[in-house]
Amino acid sequence: MRKLLALVIPLLILASTAHANWKLPAHVRYEMGDGFTPWTTANVLFVTGGELNRVATNTKPYPLDGRFAVIPMTDGELNIVTLSGAMPCGGAFTAGCMPDGRADGFDGKGRHWQVCTNVKCD
């Protein structure tokens, strides 16, 4: 729990003060045993590993060139999804880091997530 709080508070600060991250409403869903949950909309913070490393404490370093989606959950916790695929972002996550407005990835619990910034996601 301390590790989570040590990460959550700086991420909230990053979301409200930094200009290098990319935050916007996105459609998200994750895979359960019998398929994906329905799409839901969340204010997702998209960040690079370098951005996470600047605010994360008491955790292992994130790969600098990694792409991550920080998804707020209904219980108030933040879920960090490591987005799959290689896409050079430089030092900041921008729309160019997510081709076609879609990405897949896995969270720390091994759940498969899909993230979509398009108007329509199927």
Higher pLDDT, 21 or 120: 120
Q: Where are the alpha helices (DSSP H) in the chain?
A: 2-17, 49-55
Residue 18 has pLDDT above 60, yes or no: no
Give the C-alpha separation, 97 to 117, whole Å.
Answer: 12
Tens of pLDDT along 37-73?
A: 999 999 999 998 888 888 876 677 888 888 999 999 8
Task: Tell me how far CA of residue 12 lies from CA of 35, 47, 73, 95, 117, in angstroms.
Answer: 31, 12, 14, 21, 21
pLDDT at position 64 is: 82
pTM for the model stands at 0.78
pLDDT of residue 57: 65
